Amino acid sequence: MMSDEWTESGQDDQSALVPKDATQHQESARASFASSVFNIMHAIMGSGILGLAYAMSSTGIIGFSLLLLFVAVTAAYSVHLLLVLCEQTALTTYEDLGFCAFKTTGKVMVAGAILIQNIGAMSSYLFVIKSELPAAIAGFLHNSYNGTPWYLNGQILLLITVIFVVLPLALLPKIEFLGYTSGLSILFMVYFTIVVVVKKWFVPCPLFNGTVNYFQSAYAIPTMAFSFLCHTSVLPIYCELKRPSKSRMQKAVNIGMILSFSIYMLSALFGYLTFYANVNSQLLHSYSQYLPRDPVIMSVRICILFSVLLTVPLIHFPARKSLMLLFCSRCPFSWLCHILVTLVIQTVIVLLAIYVPNIQNIFGVVGSTTSTALLFIYPGLFYLQISRESLKSSRKLKALGLIILGILIGSVSLLVIIITWLHNEN
């Protein structure tokens, strides 16, 4: 995967190149501290924000707040372990740390997890397009229809969008210009949160149901893990930081986590207080039911759709990179292989977006498997294997705790999610 001097980086911007050697590292660094914080927030925040209010309705305000804080703190600490390993080994990608720890097996573990994680993320984005684009179009039309015309059919609109927008962008060998739109994503998330807070006072309060559904609570931590995963982007961001140091990068991560936590918490809290137990697993659906033609909600929907539309091709690049690493890492670049892999990935995510009935299922399954692995298990496992500290050292004990915690959270959550599916079918 790595050339003699450089290696590709990044989950969101594949055009960036990071140095393999630590001395080259400082020469190429050019990103300011504020820019690094911004990039971390962009790596963290995504479609997960739409499912957090539903998670709060399942766990209650206090339970959700404690769980979200716990996941945020744990995510920041697992990033800390990766940064320590980066400093010790001078490696700059998650896959290379996996190779350093367990050779080819470790690299395959990380590449496979990143592939599944990114497929889940892209599927959740396409799910948003499928569900929100028809509502956005209908909001501008004032006619009543018998049946559903093709331009209000979510599946048809999804296919048109993927074929004519997402696929051409994903087929490009480089997608540098889309990196400049990443700033809009954060602005859209902030705007979304402001609207959620304001609209709390304009939506008729539905009948409150104070009960907590413990089956649905199983989706809470996986959704949070899905929402806070930025680990595949942290090392490339670190490599681009001016005056790079572990403490400086950790400070950027902490600030990014705190700001993301604040945005997540506000949107979840006021989304829940607006609809209580009636909140949908995709928050914008709830607003569609109560404020179907509200111009502010329509503007939010357009902003989210625009953000999602340009994010899918960006996430596609590391997914394709991981897939090619798994199956054709020794092959030189080939347009045929490039196109075939792109088509395979696009087909998979479209099928998932069409046939998965609820975005909550994507958050739950991906969050309880690859998100917990990349956020909890792998950082702790790689630290135990690579670091030369004593096994009784504080960091290694905490790393072991991360591994145990990740296994417990992932296995229990996935088990309860499967039981929930079986329960719902019955």
Rounded to an integer, what distance in angstroms lies between the CA atom of residue 240 and that of residue 88?
18
The 10s digit of each residue's pLDDT in 128-140 is 899 889 888 887 7
Parent domain of 320: 6-425
Tokens 């540098």 -> residue? 176
pTM: 0.80
* Structural domain includes residue 258: yes
Angle, helices 359-366/394-425, rounded to nearest 10 degrees: 140
What pLDDT, on a 0 to 100 scale, did the predictor assign at position 142?
66
The 10s digit of each residue's pLDDT in 241-276 is 888 788 889 999 999 999 999 999 999 999 999 988
What pLDDT, on a 0 to 100 scale, did the predictor assign at position 25?
44
* Structural domain includes residue 201: yes
Total domain count for the chain?
1
* Structural domain includes residue 327: yes
Residue 138 to residues 106, 132, 143, Cα–Cα distance (Å)? 48, 10, 9
* Structural domain includes residue 1: no
DSSP string, 246-267: HHHHHHHHHHHHHHHHHHHHHH
Q: Around Cβ 11, how many Cβ atoms within 10 Å?
A: 26
What pLDDT, on a 0 to 100 scale, did the predictor assign at position 8?
35
Least confident of 23-37, 144-158, 278-292, 324-338: 23-37
Rounded to an integer, what distance in angstroms lies between the CA atom of residue 407 and that of residue 413?
10
3-state SS class at 268: helix
User: Which position has the higher pLDDT, 154 or 216?
Assistant: 154
* Structural domain includes residue 295: yes
* Structural domain includes residue 298: yes
Residue 331's Cα: distance from chain center in Å? Answer: 29
Rounded to an integer, what distance in angstroms lies between the CA atom of residue 85 and that of residue 187?
33
The 10s digit of each residue's pLDDT in 99-127 is 999 999 999 999 999 999 989 889 988 99
* Structural domain includes residue 389: yes
The 10s digit of each residue's pLDDT in 366-377 is 888 999 999 999
User: Which position has the higher pLDDT, 93 or 212?
Assistant: 93
* CATH number of residue 217's parent domain: 1.20.1740.10
Report the helix count and the strand count for the chain, using DSSP H and E. 19, 2
Least confident of 71-85, 135-149, 206-220: 206-220
* Structural domain includes residue 143: yes
3-state secondary structure 186-251: HHHHHHHHHHHHHHCCCCCCCCCCCCCCHHHHCCHHHHHHHHHCCHHHHHHHHHCECCCCHHHHHH
Burial bucket for residue 369 (CB in 10 Å: 0-12, 13-18, 19+): buried
